[in-house]
Amino acid sequence: MAYNFKEVVSKPARFTSGHRLCAGCGAGIAVGNVLRALHDGDHAVVGNATGCLEVSTYMYPYTSYTDSYIHNAFENAGATMGGVETAYRVLKKKGKIDETYKFITFGGDGGTYDIGFQSLSGAAERGHDFTYVCYDNGAYMNTGIQRSSATPMYADTTTTPVGSESSGKPQPRKDLTAIMVAHNIPYVAQTTFVQNFKDLHIKSEKAIYTEGPAFLNIMAPCPRGWRYNTEDIMEVCKMAVETCYWPLFEVVEGRWILNYEPKNKLPIEDFLKSQGRFKHLFKKGNEDLLEAFQKEVDRRWDDLLKKCE
């Protein structure tokens, strides 16, 4: 696929300025870049599960979107967009709509991995022609940084506080991308903010213009919850990829494709050290926790390499 970065970033923004997201918020960066993948002349219906993104970009009757917008409850974003897409197909068949519409739903990890998963799973299984985008910031940031099933192991959150009785969240994060692959849908991909957003742009266009259900999982760091310096967001994303904590890959019609393999895989410490939620891991006596984290990353990376052979 030809890729013209200048052309992509020169498109009029479909996600406008003036929203109330935090400085350096990954969610806004994800949304703005995904919507730039829409072709000129095509319309979109944007769905949005309750969460940080919703409360910061929507206050009735105003939104930050130039396309049609629907605020969904935490638990039903997939079902809502499935209903809208079905109505569109009926109206198109009856000749009442001529324009081309694309259907894109955004949800955080709380509204995707957890509360809204049943709705997403059902919509994927039914085969609706829509794209679901998870902006994964690794916790319920909107309601006070509580752990979700996307929260990485040993992360300090308000419901997994680090102290004398706890080293943070004890469980590894759920692999939702692989779970969506198991739905046998046409397109699934994992990406984040690297390579001048090239990987994100290309996968967004593929997802939106693939017929049938598509799922994008985008690591979208949260400066408040992860406790890193706002200006370091791109470096945090880069280290997530270079340490293989967040690999870049896609699954097209069941075929696993690795999009990037680091020349020199970095230790997981290079990703963790810039984030306050992991500062306890670098205290004396917690070396075994870092070792366990590294083993989990290595295990998942090795499994991914086998799938992509």
Instruction: Encode pLDDT of 136-147 as tens digits.
Output: 999 999 999 999
Q: Is the pTM of this model over 0.75?
A: yes
Q: What is the mean pLDDT of residues 239-263?
A: 98
**Pairing label, strands 187-191, 101-108:** unpaired
Q: Which residues contact 156 (CB under 8 A, 6 or more apart)?
A: 162, 168, 276, 277, 278, 279, 280
Confidence class for position 7, pLDDT limits 50, 70, 90: confident
Q: What is the pLDDT of residue 195?
A: 86
Q: What is the pLDDT of residue 9?
A: 79
- For the chain, what is the mean pLDDT? 96
Q: What is the pLDDT of residue 164?
A: 92
Q: What is the pLDDT of residue 11?
A: 87
Ramachandran quadrant class, 168 (left: phi over 0; alpha: psi -120 to 50; beta: rest): left
Radius of gyration of the chain, Cα coordinates, nearest whole angstrom: 19
Q: What is the mean pLDDT of residues 230-253?
A: 98
CA–CA separation, 76 and 85 (whole Å): 14
List the one residue out of 258, 128, 257, 267 whose CA is nearest residue 185.
Answer: 128
Confidence class for position 2, pLDDT limits 50, 70, 90: low
CA atoms within 13 A on the CB side of 293: 27
Contact 211, 186 (CB under 8 A): yes
Question: Residue type at 40?
Answer: D
Q: What is the pLDDT of residue 85?
A: 98
Q: What is the mean pLDDT of residues 93-112?
A: 97
Q: What is the pLDDT of residues 60-96, one digit of tens each?
A: 889 999 999 999 999 999 999 999 999 999 999 999 9
CA–CA separation, 214 and 190 (whole Å): 11
Q: What is the pLDDT of residue 196?
A: 86
Handedness of CA 231, 234, 235, 240 (dihedral sign): positive
Strand partners, 249: 190, 258
| Domain count for the chain | 1
Q: What is the pLDDT of residue 3?
A: 67
CA–CA separation, 293 and 304 (whole Å): 17
The answer, yes or no, to whether residue 154 has pLDDT greater than 90, is: yes
Query: Residue 15 sits in a domain of what CATH number?
Result: 3.40.50.970
Q: What is the mean pLDDT of residues 1-18?
A: 82
Handedness of CA 79, 88, 133, 13 (dihedral sign): negative
The rounded percent of the chain whose pLDDT value lies above 90 is 93
Q: Which structural domain range is residue 238 located in?
A: 5-307
Contact 61, 52 (CB under 8 A): no
Sheet arrangement for strand 43-49: 68-72, 43-49, 101-108, 131-136, 214-219, 187-191, 249-252, 255-258
Confidence class for position 6, pLDDT limits 50, 70, 90: confident
Q: What is the pLDDT of residues 157-208, one digit of tens each?
A: 999 999 999 999 999 999 999 999 999 999 999 999 998 899 999 999 999 9
CA–CA separation, 220 and 11 (whole Å): 22
Residue tagged 């506080």 (tokens) = 161
Q: What is the pLDDT of residue 1?
A: 54
